[in-house]
């Protein structure tokens, strides 16, 4: 099974930026008569950035610190490294 964590494109609404974090998985099996594929993408967290705060929430609604989220999901550290160094995100990130 192949798994991947992705940071979705930021959505800017007024002075608030929303960033979804999702986990994708792909499973495949060669049966000899064909190949079966199964894939899914599930949200795992939402990051909310405004001029006054930076907050992260699990899909359960529980608030978690951004540092803790980055520790639990190391793949997002690179994607967030630029975003969290400033209060604002570019509207068209690379």
Note the pLDDT of residue 79: 63
**Residue 14 in tokens:** 């007024």
DSSP state of 80: H
Please give the chain's pLDDT, 94 residues, in tens: 788 888 888 889 999 989 899 999 999 899 889 999 999 999 999 999 888 988 999 999 999 998 898 888 877 776 666 555 443 444 444 4
pTM over 0.85: no
Note the pLDDT of residue 78: 65
Note the pLDDT of residue 91: 45
DSSP state of 67: H
d(CA 55, CA 90): 18
d(CA 10, CA 94): 11
């Amino acid at each position: 099974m192949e798994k991947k964590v992705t940071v979705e494109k930021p959505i800017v609404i007024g002075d608030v930026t929303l960033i979804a974090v999702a986990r994708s998985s792909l499973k495949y099996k060669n049966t000899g008569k064909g190949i079966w594929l199964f894939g899914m993408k599930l949200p795992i967290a939402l990051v909310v950035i405004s001029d006054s705060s930076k907050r992260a929430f699990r899909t359960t609604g529980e608030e978690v610190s951004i540092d803790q989220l980055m520790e639990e999901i190391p793949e997002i550290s690179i994607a967030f490294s630029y975003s969290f160094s400033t209060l604002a995100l570019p509207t068209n990130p690379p």
